[in-house]
Amino acid sequence: MQINKVKGTYDVLPTESYRWHALEEKIHSILKLYNIKEMRTPIMEYSEVFHRQSELSDMVTKETYDFDDRGERRLTLRPEGTAGVIRSYVENKLYASQELEKVYYIGPNFRYERPQKGRYRQFYQFGVEAIGTVDPALDAEMIMLAYDFIKRLGLKGVSVKINSLGDDESRRAYQEALTKHFEPHHDTLCDDCKARLIKNPLRILDCKIDQKHEAVMHAPTPQDYLNEFSRAYFNQVLAHLNASQIKYQISPKLVRGLDYYSHTVFEIEADIEGFGAQNVLGGGGRYQKLVSELGGPELGGIGFACGMERLLLALDAENIELAKADQLDAYVIVMGEELRITGSKILFDLRQSNLIADMNYTKKAFKGQLKQALRLDAKYLIILGEEEFKKGVVGIKNTKTEIQEEVPLRNITMYIKENGEK
Ligand code: HAM
């Protein structure tokens, strides 16, 4: 019986993996410019890393993959990267050696969401976190990095949506205002939002059911409740962005879908043909309590993450190729059973000389082997026939110029290296 992939997942086929490599290489090379090192944390964590009392987002309360392992430990497949990075930051006491720790990560995340184009149940994120320091310059740096990264991919119409939720005091004032605003509408809200009204009215704003509810559309915005410190902090962030001419828009309704944020929140978009709502390529913000909630000192952080499938879909829609699939330098065509040992020696020598090479293993006739070589876009065909072999030579054919020459067996790799790009 054939078993298909799990709903909301996908396979990266051998013909597509070069696009992932190219994107990953881009990430590594750009992050190097920002002096940020990679960090790798496990895909599974103890559930408490994500299921914290303060986190009431749909993502954590409704979409996580939770399970007991065989030792009856409660584990969760990470739905996002930040909490695991902070768990590791605290566990490894990274705060003890550096005031500011900046890291990036690439890896899969799991959310039980309704799958659609650009939304999967297993998806990859590339993310960055800067932990330990509270400084508007750092908030701006993360936004500039996200912006720079998307632009360097070649995407057009890149813009940042930004907002501030303010500090604790401002957030509290805003939440009180939201409670007051929504209370008269209690009966017309969905059941989840009725509960949210008591626990955390902010979450009503990104409810998928009540999105178009009149009261949601006309809800107060955080900007009106920022205290002096929070407003000054936000203005500083904007001043940094202005100085570097980063295109941004203040988006008063932006609150983001996770509960750990305070102060700066942002999302990054690009104009992509046929993308609609999935044009949000990444998002992030500042978090002031996450480190202490996960057992560390009172230190703040800021970061963002981009969905890698969305980036690849966007590049596709805009016909941007970060790289071409690797072309074979040479393909060995063997004409006769008794020459196969020589064929595999030639192949091994080519690879030892760092040439990308392959040969045919299905013992096809010349025509079949040629077809395979052309399908693989080989630059050179190395034709090993009995007549030639007796003379100690092979035929080497340049598939572009169609010029074929006889080359002594011992000079094959030298010939291909020297003629290289011709
Ligand atoms: P997020 O907004 O939940 O934030 O996810 C960031 C990005 O991941 C989204 O903008 C989107 O591109 C991608 N994404 C999210 N869910 C899916 C999905 N189901 N399928 C495909 N792509 C998806 C976070 O995860 C925060 N940890 C970001 C952050 C880092 N905040 C501070 N530091």
Q: Do 298 and 348 belong together in one domain? A: no
Residue 219 included in any domain = no
Mean pLDDT of 159-185: 95
One domain, residues 82 and 44? yes
Same domain as 73, residue 159: yes
Residue 206: pLDDT band by 50, 70, 90 thresholds? confident
Q: Which of residues 317, 350, 367 is at a domain's end? A: 317
Distance of CA 331 to the CA centre of its chain: 35
pLDDT at 364: 78
Burial class (CB in 10 A: 0-12, 13-18, 19+), 56: middle
- One domain for residues 48 and 69: yes
For residue 79, how far is its CA from the centre of ligand 1 (angstroms)? 9
Quote the pLDDT of residue 288.
95
Provide the pLDDT for residue 10. 97
- Would the pLDDT of 274 be above 90? no
Specify the pLDDT at position 419. Answer: 87
CATH of the domain at 117: 3.30.930.10
Residue 183: inside a domain? no
Q: Is the domain of 158 the same as that of 298?
A: yes
Q: How much is the average pLDDT of 283-312? A: 97
pLDDT given for residue 56 in this prediction: 86
Q: Whose CA is nearest to atom 12 of ligand 1?
A: 307
Q: What is the tens place of the pLDDT at every residue in 57-110?
A: 889 999 999 999 999 999 999 999 999 999 999 999 999 999 999 999 999 999
Supply the pLDDT for residue 179: 94
Residues 43 and 118 in one domain: yes
pLDDT at 278: 65
Q: Do residues 275 and 244 both lie within one domain?
A: yes
**Ligand 1 center to 292 CA (angstroms):** 22
Would you state the pLDDT for residue 362?
78
- Contact by Cβ (8 Å): 150, 207: no
Task: Answer yes or no: is pLDDT of 359 > 90.
Answer: yes
The count of structural domains within the chain is 2
CATH at residue 407:
3.40.50.800
DSSP secondary structure, 129-185, as one string = EEES---HHHHHHHHHHHHHHHHHTT-SS-EEEEEE--SHHHHHHHHHHHHHHHGGG
The CB density around residue 28, as the number of other CB atoms within 10 Å, is 13
Structure tokens at 330: 């040479």
pLDDT at 273 over 90: no
Query: Do both 150 and 278 map to the same domain?
Result: yes
Q: How confident is the model at residue 353 (pLDDT cuts 50, 70, 90)?
A: very high
Compute the distance from residue 42 Cα to the ligand 1 centre, in Å. Answer: 17
> Is residue 27, in this structure, part of any structural domain at all?
yes
pLDDT of amino acid 26: 97
Cα(248)–Cα(257) distance, integer angstroms: 20
pLDDT score, position 310? 95
Q: Residues 123, 108: contact at Cβ < 8 Å?
A: yes
Percent of the chain with pLDDT over 90: 85
The pLDDT of residue 255 is above 70: yes
300 with 365, same domain?
no
Do 246 and 356 fall into the same domain? Answer: no
CA 286 distance to own-chain centroid: 19
Tell me the pTM.
0.94
The stretch 144-151 carries a mean pLDDT of 97
For residue 277, the model assigns a pLDDT of 65
User: Does residue 262's CB lie within 6 angstroms of at least one atom of ligand 1?
Assistant: no
Higher pLDDT, 326 or 154: 154
Distance from the CA of 116 to the center of ligand 1, in angstroms? 15
What integer is the mean pLDDT of 178-200? Answer: 91
- Average pLDDT score over residue span 261-268: 97
Average pLDDT over residues 306-327: 94
Is residue 345 situated within a structural domain? yes
Q: What is the pLDDT of residue 416?
A: 95
How many Cβ atoms sit within 10 Å of the Cβ of residue 208? 10
Query: For residue 59, which atom of ligand 1 is closest to its CA?
Result: 3
In short, whether 301's Cβ falls inside 6 Å of ligand 1 is: no
Mean pLDDT across 16-34: 97
Find the domain containing 379 and state its range: 330-420
Average pLDDT over residues 107-115: 97
Q: Which strands form 393-398's sheet, in the order they lie side by side?
A: 357-359, 330-334, 380-384, 393-398, 404-408
Is residue 204, in this structure, part of any structural domain at all?
no
Cβ(125) to ligand 1 under 6 A?
yes
pLDDT tens-digit readout, 32-52: 999 999 999 999 999 999 999
The yes-or-no verdict on residue 124 having pLDDT over 80 is: yes
Q: pLDDT at position 303, please?
A: 98
Domain final residue, candidates 251, 285, 317: 317
Q: On the CB side of 321, how many CA atoms lie within 13 Å of its CA? A: 6
Q: What is the pLDDT of residue 422?
A: 53
Please give the structure tokens belonging to residue 262: 């305070």
Q: Is residue 179 part of a domain?
A: no
Q: What distance in angstroms lies between residue 267's CA and the mean position of ligand 1's atoms?
A: 10
Same domain for 107 and 33: yes
**197 within some domain:** no
pLDDT digits (tens, 9 = 90+) for 213-226: 899 999 999 999 99
Q: Averaged over 271-292, what is the pLDDT?
A: 89
Give domain status of residue 79, yes or no.
yes
249 and 385: one domain?
A: no
How high is the mean pLDDT of the chain? 94
Per-residue pLDDT at 105: 98
Specify the pLDDT at position 421.
Answer: 60
Element (H, E) at 34: none
The residue from 291, 317, 343 where one domain ends is 317
Specify the pLDDT at position 408.
Answer: 97
- How many CA atoms, within 13 angstroms, populate the side-chain half-sphere of residue 135? 10
